[in-house]
Structure 1
Amino acid sequence: MDRIATLASQNAVVIFSKSSCYMCHAIKRLFYEQGASPMIYEIDEIPNGKEIEWALIRLGCNNPSVPAVFIGGKFIGSASTVMTLQINGSLKKLLKDAGALWL
């Protein structure tokens, strides 16, 4: 859990993802289209990825554990939460408040 908190706090937007996950791809694309440059950790491609996945599950990310999105060091949620924020218009404000957008 400490490792997740450390990684999540090092960038304005952090996404824990798996390279084969279509929802992860969609969420990453959404952030890029917003003008944000998220730090992406592909947990299926890094040495301690399984440990990170277990920590994400303990954090409440389950079924599936990814994508797990952090903005401003705070856990936002998975794809459904991010899409809800996008639809209701509050995602852009979160990104601006975290310093992920300059406009």
Structure 2
Amino acid sequence: MDKVQKLSSENGVVIFSKSTCCLSYAVHMLFQELGVMPFVHEIDRDPEGKEIEKALLRMGFNSPVPAVFISGELVGSTNEVMSLHLSGSLVRLLQPYRTLN
């Protein structure tokens, strides 16, 4: 849990992902299209990956990946990110982290 909190608090936008997860890739591409370069942590390539998955479950996250954090807060997975995007709220949340205009 410490690693999840550390990574999510040190980086503005974090996606906990697996290298083979197409939904994680889609969220990553959406953020890039919105001008944000998220920090992507692929838990299947991390020796502590199983512990990270358990930590996310303890935080109330019910899907292993993608787990998206913005400003240190757990936003959710693909469904939550897309809902925020469709409502126009995602751009506001990402505004401080945009690198493109």
* Residue aligning to 2:97: 100
Distance of 1:55 and 1:10 partners within structure 2: 17
Q: Which structure 2 residues correspond to residues 3-82 of structure 1 after superposition, within 5 A?
A: 3-62=3-62, 64-82=63-81
**Which 4+ residue blocks in structure 1 deviate beyond 2 angstroms?**
none
Q: Please, what is the CA RMSD of the aligned residues?
A: 1.1
TM-score by length of 1: 0.91
Q: Which amino acid aligns with 2:56?
A: L
Q: Deviations over 1:6-49 (max 9, x none)?
A: 11011110000011111111111111111101000000011111
Aligned residues: 100
Structure number with the higher helix fraction is: 2
- Post-superposition offset of 1:2: 2.3
Q: Identify unmatched segments of 5+ residues in structure 1.
A: none
Q: Identify unmatched segments of 5+ residues in structure 2.
A: none
Identity across the alignment (%)? 50
Distance of 1:61 and 1:73 partners within structure 2: 15
Q: Deviations over 1:56-98 (max 9, x none)?
A: 1111222x311000001111111100000000000010011xx
Distance of 1:22 and 1:61 partners within structure 2: 18
Q: Which amino acid aligns with 1:30?
A: L
Distance of 2:49 and 2:39 partners within structure 1: 15
* Residue aligning to 1:90: 89
